[in-house]
Amino acid sequence: MVKIYDISVLKGDGIGPEVTEATVRVLDAVQKVSNFKLNYLYSEAGAHCIAEYGTNLPKETVEVIKKTVACLKGPMTTPEEPGAPVSVAVTLRRMFGLYANVRPCKSFPNVESLKPDIDLVVVRENTEGLYSGQEALIAPGVSVAFRIITTEASLRVAEYAFKLAMQRKKHLTYIHKGNILRITDGVFKDAVKEVQKRYPEVTVDDLHIDAATMQLIKQPAIYDVMVTTNLFGDILSDEAAQVTGSLGLAAGANIGETYGMFEPVHGSAPKYTGLNRVNPIATILAGAMMLDYLGEKEAAKKIEDAVVAVLVEGKVRTADLGGKATTSDMTLAIVEKIK
């Protein structure tokens, strides 16, 4: 019996439609050699919606998402002006309780990276911290932002990270700035230590955020699962992605108790819109993470293997990888490997 999954697809802004459609082509290819079907439900979200809807996340889109089991989300532009709508990703993370942002970073074959043997995962708390959006101008020239850290959210993301560590190398590093942010990071640290009691098999290290950014360059291969708060995790995972070769290879998952949203780590890169030149692999690997989340692990591995095979061959390389291949070239090469 063929399993059918309803999937929300948000193409996004800038290069979003290109890399999202590339991923759909790859997902279509893997369905042909698998025993499941994805039913795509396309909706609008992103900065391009603001003029028509007054928001970057129309309520109609939210209603469609509620009918699906997972979301494939293209990169979106978030306006930076005060009073502009909050990031679509941030809104959906809160709305659907997507508390764990999971960003694998690994060295790929035939891709220039800082070290050849990097294989780590950054697990980032996804719903609070400095990304809570609680800011105020309290006097002319004086502004504040609230860094909201709760025990509940910290326990939840720590639990996810420890479970992931158990599936990998049983090594977890938690990252904070507890020597300065003693109260907020104190809450986070206490939560990690509480969860640690249930996972005695896991080796646990703690690391200050400034040292972590340095160590990711100096000796990235020593890390496995890294768990931290929202802003720190955002910065670390982008750094780790570049250390391993390119943001064009970095995928991310947003996981909650009952829903998952999958997206590339990179942004919408509006200057490349419609040029057919960006690397679609990050979004394609996000699609593979979505299949893994749905339990279609064999299909997920087929996509990952196809990506690796194309990179090993080295004939098709986009600009970020030192080549001249187009988005379409890379997509077709991966589809052919799946076939």
- Crossing angle, helix 230-243 and helix 209-218, to 10 degrees? 10
**Is 234 marked active-site?**
yes
Catalytic residue chosen out of the listed positions 224, 238, 320, 329? 238
Catalytic residue chosen out of the listed positions 11, 73, 99, 131? 131
Catalytic residue chosen out of the listed positions 13, 185, 224, 234? 234
Catalytic residue chosen out of the listed positions 99, 160, 174, 177? 177
**Is 131 marked active-site?**
yes
CB distance 124 to 237 below 8 Å? yes
How far is 81 from 209, CA to CA, in rounded Å? 28
- Residues 6 or more apart whose Cβ sits within 8 Å of residue 287: 23, 24, 26, 27, 72, 262, 303
CB distance 46 to 300 below 8 Å? no
DSSP assignment of 237-299 equals HHHHHHHTT-GGG-EEEEE-SS-EEEEESS---GGGTTSS-S--HHHHHHHHHHHHHHT-HHH
Catalytic residue chosen out of the listed positions 6, 117, 205, 210? 210
**Is 28 marked active-site?**
no
Q: Which residues are part of the catalytic machinery?
A: 131, 177, 210, 234, 238
